[in-house]
């Protein structure tokens, strides 16, 4: 089993303190066997964030290009693309929750 980092005696105070980064690295050591799953979680989070940033861009294009020029073709393209992005956000969100839950259960079992 993993052991928490040992604290160094501090000459200035009576309490013993462990640097926070050592505790953080120690807690991350439980994720080491599941590195692939962790990288997949980071990738799905990145895809989800990028897809959510596209929605305001669609709105900007709609206001700046579609409405002034009354471009129906671009309007339909934007609607279908927006539906695709929404589908991607839903799928990535479900996958992210599944991976996160699976990773939490596995690491909790190892503790």
Which pLDDT score, from 0 to 100, does residue 17 have?
83
Which pLDDT score, from 0 to 100, does residue 11 have?
52
Q: What is the pLDDT of residues 65-93, one digit of tens each?
A: 999 999 999 999 999 999 999 999 999 99
Which pLDDT score, from 0 to 100, does residue 2 have?
64
Lowest mean pLDDT among 7-11, 60-64, 76-80: 7-11
Q: What is the pLDDT of residues 40-54, one digit of tens each?
A: 999 999 999 999 899
CB 66 within 8 A of CB 74: yes
* Three-class DSSP category at 78: helix
Q: What is the pLDDT of residues 12-43, one digit of tens each?
A: 555 678 889 888 888 888 888 889 999 999 99
Given a cut of 70, is residue 108 above it in pLDDT? yes
Read off φ and ψ for residue 81, nearest 5 degrees: -65, -40
Dist. CA 85–CA 52, nearest whole Å: 8
Break the chain into its structural domains and give their ranges.
32-110
Residue with structure tokens 């604290």?
7
CB 34 within 8 A of CB 107: yes
């Amino acid at each position: 089993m993993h052991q928490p980092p040992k604290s160094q005696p501090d000459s200035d105070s009576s309490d013993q303190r462990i640097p926070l980064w050592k505790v953080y690295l120690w807690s991350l050591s439980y994720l080491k066997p599941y590195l692939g799953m962790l990288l997949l979680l980071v990738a799905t989070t990145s895809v989800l964030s990028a897809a959510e940033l596209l929605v305001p861009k669609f709105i900007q294009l709609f206001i700046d290009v579609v409405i002034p020029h009354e471009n129906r073709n671009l309007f339909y393209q934007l609607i279908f693309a927006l539906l695709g992005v929404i589908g991607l956000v839903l799928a990535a969100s479900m996958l992210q929750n599944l991976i996160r839950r699976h990773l939490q259960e596995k690491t909790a079992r190892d503790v």
